[in-house]
Amino acid sequence: MNMNYWNHDVEQRRNTQPARDSERSPHTFDQEKSGLSGTAEAPIGVFDSGVGGLTILAALRQELPYENYIYFGDTAHCPYGTRSDAEIIELSVRICSFLIEQGVKLIVVACNTASQAALNSLRATFTSIRFVGVVPAVKPAARATKKGRIGIAATNQAAKAIYLQQLIDEFAGGIQAYAVGCPELVTLVEQGELDGLAVEEMVNQALQPIIREDVDVIVLGCTHFPALRPVIERVTAQKIHIIDSGTAVARRTHYVLDTEGLIQPDNSNYAHMGNLKVWCSGDADVFSNVANKLLGYSINAYQARL
């Protein structure tokens, strides 16, 4: 297996195995159940460095429509992809403390970079709460490729992380994998710039390093990137299969809740989806405007300073 990087400032990171929730076996999970608490009626917590995790939230609400959700976007400290592991862990711990104070029964770390850097620390710090992380969909990409060549678009930190090499070694043996950091795409999504000629040009430039490697599958290794999926499909002339982790994370969350007996009780009186409360650490009006574009329905975010 060959791994190629366009981030030349590769730095060595802790040699820890990634927390691959969507890949872990039921047997492994069953061994981790003891000592957890919560009630079925409690909300699910979801957090990201900014608005990107709303793509995961959308998948969760489709899979588990009657659950209540609390979302936190850490827009005051976005992007995480340029921060150190220590900073990401500290920020993630603060956010999870906030969500746990709101009474959540499970936390979805809807950020690839935070999942890589902080998920193990979060599980060690908050032993009474369940966590579901998100990682690049390398395994399904390896299954889908016919050329044996896949591209992975990620944040700078995720693209050069040792964990990504481990992930590819485990699930994509014999596959040529090409990773590229695309921080400018995170910026586009955070600014609510999701379409148009200028956006298309930026997306094209960002993805060229992997497109020109003749890949037939591109993994969206950052939860911001699915917000640009229509543009990405145009740029690739719909000839490259685009894969993200949203559905897998939603299914994993469903499995964890079901296994723990924490699915929101079925109630035929439910006429609508469960409740959603949205918080952010930056400007709440800006966040609300971008979130409305991304989700396709109106939300009003509240600001919480951590």
Residues annotated as catalytic are: 111, 222
Neighbours of 298 (CB within 10 A): 8
Residue pair 21/114 in contact by the 8 Å Cβ criterion:
no
DSSP bridge pairs for 302: 279
∠ CA 155-202-85, rounded to 5°:
15
212-215: long-range contacts at Cβ-Cβ below 8 A with a sequence spacing of 24 or more? 213/4, 213/149, 213/151, 213/176, 213/178, 214/147, 214/149, 215/145, 215/147, 215/149, 215/150, 215/151, 215/178, 215/240
List, in order, residues 6 or more apart from 19 with CB less than 8 Å away: 115, 119, 120, 123, 131, 133, 135
Tell me the one-letter amino acid at 213: E
